[in-house]
Structure 1
Amino acid sequence: MQALPVAADQFVATTKKTVVETDKGKLLGSVDDGVYSYLGVPYARADRFMPAEEVKPWQGIRPAVTYGENCFIPQMTGVAGDELFNPHRYMPMSENCQFLNVWTPGIKDRKKRPVMVWIHGGGYTNGSGIELTSYDGHNLSKTGDVVVVTLNHRLNVLGFLDLSAYGDKYKNSGNASITDLVAALKWVNQNIEVFGGDPNNVTIFGQSGGGYKVRALMGTPAARGLFEKAIVQSGSRLDSTTDKASSAKVAELTLANLGLKPEEVDKLASVDYYALLAASDKALKDAPSQGARDARYAPVADGTYIPENPVGSRWVDQAKDIPLMVGDTLNEFETVITRKVGDLVADNKNGWNNAKASAKLKERFGDKGEAVGKAFLAAYPEKTLADAYFVDTRYRVGAIRDLDLKAKQDGAPVYSYMFAYESPVLDGIAMSWHCSELPYVFANAGLVKTATGGGKEALALSRKMSQAWVNFARTGKPSAKGLPEWPAYTTDKPATMVFDTKPRVAIDLDRKVMQATGAL
């Protein structure tokens, strides 16, 4: 049965026009500006440290017009330093946080639109599916004619404490968070058709920690066949998994920090969250001195649920036939994320002459400064010598590694991008910071004006980028009106799309820059 038409300028939430039926029960959503939204939809449930399970069916109609609770994260003690550039949204937190949100241009219309499932950033410790205003899926769904899904999943100690040494019931506790993500993808496959989506054309995409999670899912057997394409945005800095020995040591020390014996492991289920988090955080700090090679909150390459690091010395075979896009921002953590906005304003790089820029390069890179400057200007002739001082040397190195390995796999194509657009906000001090591409990808350049300025140039770039992401989701090849042809990244021709005022394609864009800095 096709849904009744709704005037595009109305906000409507009514049982006559916005109810859909999922495999667990009916949902009442809303429609605004031609886009239907279903918020706070429960996709799974789980006891502490246990794998995600299906939710129980409900009777009647469940309202889906407000976001669900976020997953527990460390307590906030102040306003984020990057709040102007990455405006946040927060909700109450709970351990029962497995909720997702859906935006779609049509329901029950059998259109089989591409489905884009967003996995949020925040490392493996923080964040939510709605944390950044940029994550709002309304505009991307409307302009791209796609179904957009965002979601919450367990984080930090609740998502990654590996208790498998203490009994078979805990065998997947180190990957509890990943079982949530798999459960969400299963929900999508089982239910997205009623939201006008194609369960056989699902793209997962994520930024920063979300990019790590995308890579992890590409090597998780339980996720095989639940998505067809993947996008990793600023998510290649660290391994997407940690090792079994390190995770076991963290669990051992966490128990000890709480005064619990191994046989008392079940008592962890009732420990206050913040006490548990403090004990585990201390364990992470102490574990390296006791032999842990990679002590952190992260999925565990345990040999079973995740058999091996999805992209270590190679991409695992499971990833071979998955088209992939990998990219970064030019400056990542080198500007407003780690530096005080006032300092950047007081000493704006756009006022530096070449002599000062050279001195600053020497300050950061020592004797390599001159070589870094030359390599940078060769790679980015549209930039200035001052821009070279703020170039990212951490994330891009990992991206080059991931791109090279995927190209060598000789399977589905891989595409590379670099977001290098300088926001005009505060006289350009933020440049292309970590998360700066998100408003453009989500077609939200006009929504998040404190980040983009909201001018014609930003809006034009947003149209191109969001369309490229949508077309990748639709066909496996990124393209957009106004962009040059975007070739795949190959071993003999490693092409990268540079998103700037005038997008361009470069070959082997910044390998020599990374080599000059000593990072590669």
Structure 2
Amino acid sequence: MAQSTARAGGFDRRSLIKGAGLAAGLSLAPGTSAAAAAMPQEDAALSTDPAAVTARTTAGLIRGYRQGGVHMFKGVPYGAPTGGANRFRPPRPPAPWQGVRSALHYGPIAPQDKGMGRFHDEEAFIFRWNDAVADEDCLRLNVWTPALDAGRRPVLVWLHGGGFAAGSGHDIPAFDGENLARTGDAVVVTLNHRLNLLGFLDLSAWGPDFAESGNLGMLDIVAALRWVKDNIGVFGGDPDRVTIFGQSGGGAKVSALMAMPAARGLYHRAAILSGSFAGFNTPARSARLSALLLAELGVGSGEIAKLQALPYADLRAAADRVAARINPPFDGFVDVRRIPQILDYAPVIDGRTILADPAGPALPATDPAVPLIIGSTLNEFVTGINQPDSDAMDEAALRARVDRFLPGRADAVIRAFRAATPAAKPFDLWSRIATAPIRQAVIDQAARRLAAGAQRTHLFWFAWRTPVLDGRPRAFHCLDIPFWFDNAARCASMTGGGPEAQDLAARMSRTLVAFAAGGVPDGAGLPPWRPVAPGDFPSLRLDASPALIGEIDAAERASLR
């Protein structure tokens, strides 16, 4: 995908998917949760007492710290460094160490292009990215737990967004697992893994040693899940109740894991947040991209030592040149329907490491034995962030946008979307029209699950509108993350931090933990959440007054077909 900076509905990013932090995660405003405020003073104090914060992993002892009633271990290796001779090779276990390894700070993130969002004041204010050192020694994870005991608590493993190109397990404050661990009495794990060409360059044509090279980033995640299975009991977690959940690119990674035989049995529930629309590669597409990059680098078939010796900056520069030639430049006009047409580094549905869905070779299969939550936000990528004049859009500008989106059909489409909301502002209508394909992808993924005879599938539609920046960001892509993590107060620059946001966050996070604990997202202050069934696709609308709704947008989506 082209690396040029462009504006997409208010977010400034290299492209729709690789955009700075849209999938990567949020850096939210620091704050103090209600739970923390009610904490006894001794629990609020930070302790690094080795007697209380040392745990034994399969590779050796680690020392973390305790604060707010939660034990935290950060930057823990779950795999060996991936640079040098290990570059473009499957993940390997970390080398055991002697003594006690310090695990107080987040580890290195995968080398990547972070995009241009940090140069835009409103976007940087909202997300507040946690910048970090990048290095190929990036197979690290972070653990939050209420206690180092035999509690066998539900385990939630978070997969960050950023497409398959950028981001990390601590990219923004929203990913912090402290509140979710404490208020949910759960164990939370976040992780880093290889990205972009380091994680998804397909060298399978070089022979059996590289058969899985196009899916190394996903195999890293499988290695992390194996670490969880082997070690999480020490941290008070239940290895038989592991939930994988992720947003945007992280949601796509959940979809990929559900099609990977190597991941079966390492997780037991799953949730895909705004990730159903992501594109995957077929073997032919992946082989073409690899051939173009290798030709650009002047690397011949089998010259692995030469490829491993090149600095990452040189690899990325070559990849950027290739992308600029083969993909159309992104001019800021959002059309997520074109994402599958863009040739970029992504997991390869090769029928071996990742299985294809019967519906098509570019769609991952689903794990029918695992219950799943799927959903999206109301406004996704088309918001007023970085666009102070967004609400000034008039009818003529709306018609021009829709006519570009669906030439010759603007009147019919606007009429369909205006039917239920006749007083909506033109920009609100445009936002819903442009992002309706993401909602459609959620419905389509649920339909494929039904066709596969899968376990329960629950749908949500996050419609809560942030009051930040006069409400212009609306229910933007990533806004639901601090709610699932119970971080509404911590992430006030995203949510406003008010009581309404904190109440919804408490209910959503409790529902997520209930799902992780028993496989059913019920009994946590939200309406009963009915799963989909043939001819019945209800969604839990998440806003100030949550309700289970039917396909109230079916006619709107139908107008786009």
- The answer to whether structure 1 residue 460 and structure 2 residue 500 are counterparts is no
Match of 1:408 in 2: 451
Does 1:100 pair with 2:141? yes
Count residues in correspondence. Answer: 499
Alignment partner, residue 353 of structure 1: none
Alignment of 1:208-287 (within 5 A): 208-239=248-279, 241-286=280-325
Q: Would you say 1:147 and 2:187 are equivalent positions?
A: yes
- Are 1:417 and 2:448 counterparts? no
1:159 paired residue among 178, 193, 199: 199
Do structure 1's residue 363 and structure 2's residue 409 form an aligned pair? no
1:125: which partner in 2?
165
1:79-132 deviation digits (Å, cap 9, x = unpaired): 154222222111110011000000011112x11111000000000000000011
| Cα 1:190/1:154, change in 2 over 3 Å | same
Structure 1 residues 371 and 253, CA gap change in structure 2 (3 angstroms): closer
Of residues 102, 106, 117 in structure 2, which corresponds to 1:63?
A: 102
1:470 aligns with 2:470: no
After superposition, the Cα gap between the structure-2 partners of 1:315 and 1:209, relative to the gap in structure 1 and judged at 3 Å, is closer
Work out whether residues 422 and 432 of structure 1, in 8 Å CA contact, stay in contact via their aligned partners in 2: yes
Partner of 1:305: 353
1:483/1:359 CA distance change after superposition, 3 Å: farther
Q: Which amino acid aligns with 1:341?
A: Q
Conserved in 2, the CA contact under 8 Å of 1:219 and 1:319? yes
Q: How far apart, in 2, do the equivalents of 1:80 and 1:320 lie?
A: 43
Deviates more, 1:365-374 or 1:180-189: 365-374
In 2 relative to 1, CA 205–311 (structure 1 residues): closer, same or farther, beyond 3 Å? farther
1:395 has 2:438 as partner: yes
Q: Tell me the secondary structure at the aligned position of residue 399 of structure 2.
A: helix
Distance 1:481 1:251 in 2: 48
1:432 partnered with 2:481 = no
Check whether the contact 1:147–1:196 (CA below 8 A) recurs between aligned residues.
yes
Query: Is residue 32 of structure 2 the alignment partner of residue 13 of structure 1?
Result: no
Whole-angstrom CA distance in 1 between matches of 2:194 and 2:535: 41
Deviation at 1:387, TM superposition (A): 2.6
The alignment status of 1:173 with 2:173, answered yes or no, reads no
Q: 2:66: which partner in 1?
A: 31
- 1:283 shift after superposition: 3.2
Q: Distance in 1 between matches of 2:291 and 2:364?
A: 30
CA–CA distance in 1 between the matches of 2:257 and 2:198?
19
Going from structure 1 to structure 2, the CA distance change for 1:103 and 1:360 (only over 3 Å counts) comes to same
**Contact 2:349/2:362, CA 8 A, preserved across alignment:** no
Structure 1 vs Structure 2 CA RMSD: 2.5
Unaligned runs of 5+ in 1: 350-355
Cα–Cα, structure 1 residues 185 and 381, in superposed 2: closer, same or farther, change >3 Å? farther
| 1:342-365 Cα deviation digits (max 9, x unpaired) | 333xx467xxxxxx5x55543332
CA separation in 2, counterparts of 1:77 and 1:378? 38
Q: Is the 8 A contact 2:437 2:557 kept in 1?
A: no
For the 8 Å contact 1:204–1:227, the answer to whether it is kept is yes
- The 8 Å contact of residues 464 and 480 in structure 1, kept in 2 or not, is answered as no
Task: Give the aligned residue type for 1:303.
Answer: G
SS at match of 2:317: helix
The answer to which of 486-495 and 427-436 deviates more is 486-495
Residue 23 of structure 1: how far off its partner (Å): 1.1
**Residue number in structure 1 paired with 2:93:** 54
**What residue identity is the alignment partner of 1:90?**
D
Matches within 5 A, 1:479-490: 479-490=522-533
Report the TM-score, using the length of structure 2 for normalisation.
Answer: 0.84
Cα separation, partners in 2 of 1:385 and 1:464, compared to 1, 3 Å: farther
| Seq. identity, % | 39
**1:118 is paired with a residue of what secondary structure?**
strand
Q: Which amino acid aligns with 1:246?
A: R
Residue 340 (structure 1) aligned with residue 386 (structure 2):
yes
Contact 1:408 1:491 (C-alpha < 8 Å) held by counterparts: no
* AA of the residue aligned to 1:172: E
Residue 40 (1) aligns with residue 75 (2): yes
Deviates more, 1:505-514 or 1:66-75: 505-514
Q: What is the distance in 2 between the residues matched to 1:359 and 1:382?
A: 16
User: Match of 1:323?
Assistant: 371
Could you list the per-position Cα deviations for residues 440-489 of structure 1 after superposition, in whole angstroms to 9, with x for gaps in the alignment? 11100000111111111111111111111111111111125432111112
Distance of 1:312 and 1:95 partners within structure 2: 34
On the 8 A contact 1:103/1:148 being kept in 2, the answer is: yes
Once residues 104 and 35 of structure 1 are traced to their aligned partners in structure 2, the CA distance between those partners, rounded to angstroms, is 6
Report the equivalent of 2:57.
22
- 5+ unaligned residues in a row in structure 2: which ranges? 1-39, 329-339
Give 1:333's aligned amino acid: F
Moved more, 383-392 or 407-416: 383-392
What secondary structure sits across from 2:388 in the alignment?
helix
User: Could you tell me which of 498, 502, 510 is aligned with 2:541?
Assistant: 498
Deviates more, 1:52-61 or 1:75-84: 75-84
Deviations 1:4-23 (A, max 9, x none): x9942221111111111111
- The answer to whether the Cα contact below 8 Å between 2:349 and 2:364 also exists between their aligned partners in 1 is no
What's the counterpart of residue 85 of structure 1?
A: 126
Please list the CA deviations of residues 422-452 of structure 1 after superposition, one character each: whole Å capped at 9, or x if unmatched: 1111111010111011111110000011111
Match of 1:194 among 234, 239, 243: 234
Q: Does the CA-based 8 Å contact 2:371-2:519 persist in structure 1?
A: yes
Q: Say whether 1:296 aligns with 2:339.
A: no
Farther off after superposition, 134-143 or 241-250: 241-250
Q: CA deviation at 1:172?
A: 1.4
For 2:124 and 2:327, the matched residues in 1 are separated by 33
SS of the aligned residue for 1:274 comes to helix
Q: Which amino acid aligns with 1:54?
A: P
Which range is displaced more, 434-443 or 473-482?
473-482
Instruction: Say which SS state the counterpart of residue 412 (structure 1) adopts.
Output: coil
Taking the aligned partners of 1:112 and 1:134, their CA distance within structure 2 comes to 25
**What's the CA shift for 1:205?**
0.3
Asked if the contact 2:282–2:362 (Cα under 8 Å) also holds between the matched residues in 1, the reply is no
Q: Could you say which structure has the greater relative contact order, defined with CA pairs below 8 angstroms and 6 or more residues apart?
A: 2
Higher deviation after alignment, 403-412 or 306-315: 306-315
Give the distance between the partners of 1:48 and 1:15, measured in 2 at CA.
35
* Shift in CA distance, 328/361, structure 1 to aligned 2, threshold 3 Å: same
Cα distance in 2 for partners of 1:310, 1:94 equals 38
Question: Relative to structure 1, is the Cα distance of residues 224 and 126 closer, same or farther in structure 2, using a 3 angstrom cutoff?
Answer: same
Q: Write the distance in 2 (CA, Å) between the matches of 1:171 and 1:314.
A: 19
Q: State the SS of the aligned residue for 1:416.
A: strand
SS in 1 for 2:87: coil
Aligned letter for 1:40? G
Question: What is the TM-score normalised by the length of structure 1?
Answer: 0.90
1:352 is matched with which residue? none
Residue 152 of structure 2 corresponds to which residue in structure 1? Answer: 112
CA 1:372–1:473: 2 relative to 1, 3 Å: farther
Q: Which amino acid aligns with 1:485?
A: P
Is the 2:145–2:236 contact (alpha carbons within 8 Å) kept by the matching residues of 1?
yes
C-alpha distance in structure 2 between counterparts of 1:316 and 1:157, whole Å: 20
